[in-house]
């Protein structure tokens, strides 16, 4: 049997970089695609195609050229950036997804797609711990695009037989590549301020609890759901998953256990309004039951790993 060929669209981003490294370490064939080249040294030897996911013909051509049969479509405008440029964000998020779904629907060989949704599908009217079937009325362009994207995935699954799998990611925290334009980004950028003379200024309020996850668990979730038997999937849309919930204050207190001189302050901006509409946590029982979702990194472990990686240049947990 021919080996699977994975393509990562958005491979130079925060999650794409970590996923590329993980697939490479597992001996998989991987092609990286993005509008900007990767920067992390550990993946520079992988084939790279500079391509815009909105270029349907170009994307289809490169996917056929490499005989790709597993697409990880990660390219997206995130919540904070999306509010600043709504038309651009909507176009990128919806056109990109529809191009990928169309390519899979018309493919000559069976294709499998991973496309991440987000906690941003929930809104101010959702409960504090969002259930799998929670009421969804997102308040951001990003959230609306993820919510509608989930419905497009369900439509392509039902009507065009596309095997597309999805999870609702919380905030993702890792070291290999920076995040870009998210509301949960404070929990990554703070680790670049550990040794600053000035206190770190947080753009969310002290008590704003959000669901979060270390990158190793995020990559593991994607690869687990991609290898699960299709019959096991009861969920028509995207599965809730999370690893932990914390507020900025809880994170910073944990950091101070490792960095006694670490100081912080709060200057909430428009991103606080976005975060306030998201749940504190998710009920992810269905993912645990259907495909064995089981996170491994908790808050103390996350902080320990991130502090070491930043201060002592040690590799992140799963980095090789």
The minimum distance between CB 240 and ligand AKB, in angstroms, equals 13
Question: Which whole-number Å values give the CA distances from 239 to 18, 38, 154, 222, 285, in the listed order?
Answer: 21, 29, 12, 11, 9
The minimum distance between CB 55 and ligand AKB, in angstroms, equals 24
3-state helix, strand, coil in the chain (%, to 5): 40, 15, 40
Non-local (6+) Cβ contacts of 294 within 8 A are 288
Size, binding site for ligand AKB by CB under 6 A: 12
- Name which of 179 and 318 has its Cβ closer to ligand AKB: 179
Q: Is 266 a catalytic residue?
A: no
**If you search the block for the tokens 């590799």, which residue do you land on?**
315
Could you tell me which of 5, 232, 235, 229 has the C-alpha nearest to residue 132?
A: 235
CB hemisphere CA count around 276 (13 angstroms): 10
- Name which of 13 and 182 has its Cβ closer to ligand AKB: 182
Which one of the listed residues 40, 142, 156, 239 is annotated catalytic?
A: 142
Positions in 183-222 near ligand AKB (CB under 6 A): 183-184
171 near ligand AKB, rule: CB under 6 A:
yes
The minimum distance between CB 169 and ligand AKB, in angstroms, equals 6
- Name which of 142 and 191 has its Cβ closer to ligand AKB: 142
Positions in 72-131 near ligand AKB (CB under 6 A): 78-79, 118-120
Taking CB atoms, the residue at the shortest distance from ligand AKB is 182
- Name which of 38 and 170 has its Cβ closer to ligand AKB: 170
The minimum distance between CB 163 and ligand AKB, in angstroms, equals 23
Extract the tokens encoding 181. Answer: 């334009």
Contact 72, 9 (CB under 8 A): yes
Compute the distance between CA of residue 178 and CA of residue 180 in angstroms, rounded to an integer. Answer: 6
**Catalytic residue annotation:** 142
Residues engaged in binding ligand AKB (CB under 6 A) = 78-79, 118-120, 142, 169-171, 182-184
């Amino acid at each position: 049997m021919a080996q699977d060929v994975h393509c990562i669209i958005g491979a130079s981003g925060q999650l794409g970089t970590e996923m590329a490294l993980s697939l490479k370490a597992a001996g998989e064939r991987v092609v990286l695609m993005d509008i900007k080249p990767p920067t992390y040294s550990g993946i520079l030897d992988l084939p790279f195609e500079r391509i815009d996911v909105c270029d349907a013909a170009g994307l289809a051509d490169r996917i056929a050229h490499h005989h790709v049969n597993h697409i990880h479509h990660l390219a997206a405008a995130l919540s904070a950036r999306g509010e600043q440029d709504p038309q651009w964000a909507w176009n990128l998020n919806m056109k990109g997804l529809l191009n990928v779904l169309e390519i899979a629907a018309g493919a000559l060989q069976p294709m499998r797609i991973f496309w991440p949704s987000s906690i941003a599908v929930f809104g101010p009217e959702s409960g504090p711990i969002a259930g799998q079937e929670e009421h969804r009325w997102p308040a951001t362009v990003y959230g609306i695009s993820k919510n509608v994207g989930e419905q497009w995935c369900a439509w392509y699954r039902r009507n065009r037989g596309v095997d597309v799998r999805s999870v609702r990611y919380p905030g993702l925290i890792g070291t290999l590549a920076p995040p870009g334009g998210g509301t949960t980004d404070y929990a990554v950028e703070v680790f670049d301020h550990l040794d600053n003379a000035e206190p770190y200024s947080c753009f969310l309020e002290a008590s704003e609890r959000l669901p979060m996850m270390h990158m190793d668990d995020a990559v593991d979730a994607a690869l687990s759901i991609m290898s699960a038997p299709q019959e096991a999937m009861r969920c028509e849309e995207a599965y809730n998953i999370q690893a932990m919930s914390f507020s900025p204050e809880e994170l910073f207190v944990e950091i101070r256990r490792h960095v006694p001189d670490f100081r912080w302050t709060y200057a909430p901006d428009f991103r606080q309004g976005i975060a306030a509409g998201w749940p504190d946590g998710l009920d992810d029982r269905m993912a645990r039951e259907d495909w064995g979702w089981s996170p491994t990194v908790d808050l103390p472990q996350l902080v320990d790993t991130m502090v070491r990686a930043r201060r002592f240049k040690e590799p992140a947990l799963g980095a090789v």
